[in-house]
Amino acid sequence: MYPLIKKILLLSIVSLFLFSSFINAQASNQVFIDMNKELESIKKEELLKAEEQKALDSEKRRYNDTDELIKGAENRFREEVNQWQVELNSYKAERDRRSAETQQHNGWKPDSRNNAAVNSYNAEAARLNAWRDRLEAQYNKIEDRRKTLIEKSNGLKQARENLNKAVLEWTAKQKRLNNDFEVLRAKNENLRQRFVGTCQQMLRDPNTKDEALKLGCGNVQFDGANPNLPPLQDKDIKPPFRAQQN
């Protein structure tokens, strides 16, 4: 009985060892399956975030173009204001000259008996009156131009305020997206560490099969060489680009 019991116990131990190895192998395989699923999920998130970044980049270019348009309009507006100021100064100078000549003209009266003097006086009065009328028309144009410039100024101010508001909203969206990329990078790093830890654990396990190790951990050097487990490839675990801080 004793040899039979010994043989049964030995077979039981072998069976238990084989079953344990099978369970360990299955568990390792499941770990890698789960990590691959997690990696695929991260990739999908990265693609979605990459599309969001493309949309934000396009939005940023649009705002930059709008900013250039507004700057050009502001420069032209300043030129118009300068030209208007030149016209206004010219009007004021001419108005002052007419006022001086009018005062001089009105400072004396011709002898009513002197027809030539009366005619000369009246002709000068007519000239001064025509000059006055022309200056009034000129002033009306300058005043209309001033009102137009005020409308343009208000329009440019509103356009600049709208753009600034849009840029602030864009900056907030970019900041949130940058934070999302940081979360993805943290997920990637956590997955990488778990990947490396699992491979190192498999290396220390004498029951790990070479094929299982290669399948789960990639290319690992054998034949007495120290294993150098590579991290996940950048193209597999990182966002396609780093979002720029703005």
pLDDT of residue 197: 82
Percent of the chain with pLDDT over 70: 71
241 φ, ψ (degrees, to nearest 5): -160, 165
pLDDT of residue 205: 66
Mean pLDDT computed over 149-154: 96
Name the residue ranges covered by the structural domains of the chain: 2-237
Return the SS3 of 97: helix
Q: Which helix (H) or strand (E) holds 93?
A: helix 2-106
Q: Between 24 and 193, where is the model more confident?
A: 193
Structure tokens at 144: 């209309």
pLDDT of residue 236: 41
- pLDDT, tens only, 188-197: 888 888 888 8
**Residue 226 vs residues 90, 194, 208: alpha-carbon distances, Å:** 91, 20, 16
pLDDT of residue 237: 33
Tell whether the model's pLDDT for residue 10 goes beyond 50: no
pTM of structure: 0.64
Mean pLDDT computed over 48-57: 94
pLDDT of residue 215: 53
pLDDT of residue 56: 95
Contact assessment for residue 239 and residue 180, using Cβ atoms and an 8 Å cutoff: no
Contact assessment for residue 213 and residue 223, using Cβ atoms and an 8 Å cutoff: no
pLDDT of residue 243: 35
Helix axes 210-217, 115-204, angle to 10 degrees: 170
Contact assessment for residue 180 and residue 49, using Cβ atoms and an 8 Å cutoff: yes
Helix axes 2-106, 210-217, angle to 10 degrees: 10
Residue 199 confidence class, pLDDT cut points 50, 70, 90: confident
Tell whether the model's pLDDT for residue 74 goes beyond 60: yes
Mean pLDDT computed over 14-20: 35
